[in-house]
Amino acid sequence: MELSTINQRKLEKLNNEKVEELLEFAIDLCKPDKVSIIDDSEEDIKYVRELALESGEEKPLEMEGHTVHFDGYQDQARDKENTKYLVEEDLDLGLDINTIDREEGLDEILGYLDGSMQNKEMLVRFFSLGPNKSDFSLPAMQITDSSYVAHSEDILYRQGYEDFKELEGSGKFFFFLHSAGRLENRVSADIDKRRIYIDLKKDQVFSVNNQYAGNSLGLKKLAFRLAIRKAVKEGWLAEHMFISGVNGPGDRKTYFTGAFPSGCGKTSTAMIPGHSIVGDDIAYMKIKGKDVRAVNVENGAFGIIRDIDPEDDPIIYNTLTTPRELIFSNVLVNDGKPYWLGMGKDIPEKGINFSGKWSQGKTDEGGNEIPPAHKNARYTIRISDLENCDENYDKKDGVKVDGMIFGGRDSDTSVPVAETLSWSHGVFMASSLESETTSATLDKQGERKHNPMANLDFLSVPISDYINNYLEFGQKAKHQPSIFTVNYFLKNPENGDYLNGMLDKKIWLLWMEKRVHGEVKAIKSPIGYLPYYEDLRKLFTRYLNRDYTELSYVEQFSIRIENYLNKFRRINNVFKNIPNLPDNFEEELNEQIKRLKEARKKYSDSEITPFKLTNY
């Protein structure tokens, strides 16, 4: 197939043989009817936006600029089982990382991609992962037959056609080829042939027979996997983290990053009222001078919409309910309006949702009742559309990071907030993170899983290499960020009620901000430094206008020794089989267990209140 003169010219301007070679390969393989190379111009971006409506992949909603997209009934989350690394014999990624022999995998997926764009249009895109012209950033080329995918990427990422010109012919960029495959009612029909294969050897990813963004958008979690490997090789960090500016006393602003597994409070922490957001999902971090600095790889947010209500999430709610360019996915639509679970108002009893025409009581083939909107329904917006967008969100050299937060969904063990004892202890605690699974992937929900640095789903290197890199990274930085652990999901063991309110995380954040600046003292406990009751009480009164009782403090911050010991036994079981962990890792683990046992002995109790620990 011949490219039109306009496309030919756009290609020539890039003057990049690798781009030409990959395009030719994709055209020969996928056999599209039409090819459109999209540059950074307003005209081209508009073309994609309109194509998404014309093709029916998105439908307009009543409010100006709002559209809705539906993924297939069985394509509502990341498909971990069919996401695999293509590996050759000499690459051993270690336990639990899903791999397939490179030749076999390529044969399979290229077979599925063969002819996948017949009667369709191929869109060719160029983006920058990270701010334009920044030395944090990585260029990426995306080919897709989904105008929804291309449109989402326009909202979520920075345009990179101009940056590609500056590559001066270099072939060092990530490449993603996606096809939604055969469509029925505009959704991928051959779900049994859904595959996402990652070629680490060539920094390329192939994805077919899917539309859900976590599976289809090359730039999101697929690029992230490639970036982790590159980061480990080059000595920087690619992390599943938000970046947020926390406003302290006066006009002091302190930046934190935070890693949480999907659906465990990452976006809501980045969105705490009174503070500002740089990013909500993926950060690249490098050492610059004495400091650790971070950029948001993305330009937008693909957030979980469930439970976004005007009271707890006023900023997002406002953004989602005012005119602007945004995409809802897998919500309920009735009379041109979107509805989602937990939105704080009544949901209509019928409409269109991810199952098609829906009314209350509708069941699927398996006899399961179909909810009005999917639990993992999402919104796609630009960060700059949020009223709390940080002034430095697009800065080429990023923001200085003073604190790093790690949190999971842990109902019975970890305290709401603690500062780890050192960089090495922090890396150990982050590597020991456990979390209950959520609806962000297609697996079973509510199962406790070891999830190091909240990054388990995306690791593309042996875990020992990943942890070694982390340790060395901190050691190289003259000004090390402090590492904190948080847990918003601790429950009362007697009645199963959550021990914290939704907004309590604001207090933990403010406490961490003060700790970073040495403004509050803390109690040394076996698992890290805990806040003093008085400091929290003052913050609760001042910022939430709430009385914080000693009872709440004791329930939340008592060290549940047995549960912690069980946790570290589980962690030991995982790590004892992993070769090449850092030398001091076993020491951290042994010391951790020792401190817990000593405390149990000293206080002859299996649950130690922080008041008792004051003299620890």
Which residues are designated catalytic? Answer: 264
Q: Which is nearer to Mn ion, 262 or 485 (CB)?
A: 262
Residue 213's binding partner out of ligand SPV, Mn ion, none, with CB under 5 to 8 Å set by partner kind: ligand SPV
- Residues contacting residue 323 through CB under 8 Å, at least 6 positions apart: 63, 64, 65, 66
Q: How many residues sit in the footprint of Mn ion (CB under 5 A)?
A: 2
Nearest approach, Cβ of residue 225 and ligand SPV (Å): 11
CA–CA separation, 391 and 276 (whole Å):
8
Residue 440's binding partner out of Mn ion, ligand SPV, none, with CB under 5 to 8 Å set by partner kind: ligand SPV
Rounded CA Rg of the chain: 24
- Other beta carbons within 10 angstroms of residue 335's beta carbon come to 8
CA–CA separation, 243 and 281 (whole Å):
8
Q: Which is nearer to ligand SPV, 111 or 342 (CB)?
A: 342
- In the complex, the residues that contact ligand SPV under the rule CB under 6 A are 78, 213-214, 220-221, 262, 281, 302, 440
Nearest approach, Cβ of residue 409 and Mn ion (Å): 14
Nearest approach, Cβ of residue 378 and ligand SPV (Å): 7
CA–CA separation, 174 and 172 (whole Å):
7
The pairs formed by 596-601 with CB atoms below 8 angstroms and a separation of 24 or more are: 596/526, 596/527, 596/559, 596/561, 596/564, 596/565, 596/568, 597/565, 598/526, 599/525, 599/526, 599/559, 599/561, 600/561, 600/565
Nearest approach, Cβ of residue 194 and ligand SPV (Å): 14
CA–CA separation, 510 and 543 (whole Å):
9
Residue 35's binding partner out of Mn ion, ligand SPV, none, with CB under 5 to 8 Å set by partner kind: none
Q: Which is nearer to ligand SPV, 212 or 585 (CB)?
A: 212
Residue 214's binding partner out of Mn ion, ligand SPV, none, with CB under 5 to 8 Å set by partner kind: ligand SPV
Residue 410's binding partner out of ligand SPV, Mn ion, none, with CB under 5 to 8 Å set by partner kind: none
Nearest to 29 by CA among 2, 5, 3, 1: 1
Q: Which is nearer to ligand SPV, 279 or 398 (CB)?
A: 279
Residue 557's binding partner out of Mn ion, ligand SPV, none, with CB under 5 to 8 Å set by partner kind: none
- Asked whether 174 and 226 are in contact (CB, 8 A), the reply is yes
Nearest approach, Cβ of residue 219 and Mn ion (Å): 13
Nearest approach, Cβ of residue 211 and ligand SPV (Å): 12
- Other beta carbons within 10 angstroms of residue 156's beta carbon come to 24
Select the span of 145-153, 258-266, 369-377, 558-566 touching Mn ion (CB under 5 A): 258-266
Residue 78's binding partner out of ligand SPV, Mn ion, none, with CB under 5 to 8 Å set by partner kind: ligand SPV
3-class state of residue 381 by DSSP: strand
Pairing of strands 138-144, 174-179: parallel
Nearest approach, Cβ of residue 602 and ligand SPV (Å): 41
Q: Which is nearer to ligand SPV, 75 or 410 (CB)?
A: 75
Select the span of 115-123, 128-136, 195-203, 254-262 touching Mn ion (CB under 5 A): 254-262
Nearest approach, Cβ of residue 366 and Mn ion (Å): 28
Q: At CA 417, angle to CA 412 and CA 421, rounded to 5?
A: 110
Pairing of strands 241-247, 253-259: antiparallel
Rounded to 10 degrees, the C-alpha dihedral 543/549/553/556 comes to: -90
**Cα separations in angstroms, 200 against 80, 87, 92, 144, 224:** 17, 8, 12, 20, 12
CA–CA separation, 151 and 156 (whole Å):
9
Residue 76's binding partner out of ligand SPV, Mn ion, none, with CB under 5 to 8 Å set by partner kind: none
3-class state of residue 31 by DSSP: coil
Q: Which is nearer to ligand SPV, 186 or 220 (CB)?
A: 220
- Asked whether 247 and 274 are in contact (CB, 8 A), the reply is yes
Residue 220's binding partner out of ligand SPV, Mn ion, none, with CB under 5 to 8 Å set by partner kind: ligand SPV
The residue whose Cβ lies closest to ligand SPV is 214
Q: Which is nearer to ligand SPV, 40 or 313 (CB)?
A: 313
Query: What does residue 525 show for φ and ψ, rounded to 5 degrees?
Result: -120, 170
Q: Which is nearer to Mn ion, 51 or 213 (CB)?
A: 213
Q: Which is nearer to Mn ion, 127 or 548 (CB)?
A: 127
Burial 32-54 (b: 16+ CB within 10 A, else e): beebbbbbbeeebbebbbebbee
Distance from chain centroid for Cα 308 = 17
Nearest approach, Cβ of residue 446 and ligand SPV (Å): 16
Nearest approach, Cβ of residue 33 and ligand SPV (Å): 29
Residue 421's binding partner out of Mn ion, ligand SPV, none, with CB under 5 to 8 Å set by partner kind: none
DSSP bridge partners of 380 = 302, 327
Q: Which of 281, 291, 298, 385 binds Mn ion (CB under 5 A)?
A: 281
Q: Which is nearer to ligand SPV, 66 or 78 (CB)?
A: 78
The residue type found at 32 is P
CA–CA separation, 313 and 293 (whole Å):
28
Binding site for Mn ion (CB under 5 A): 262, 281
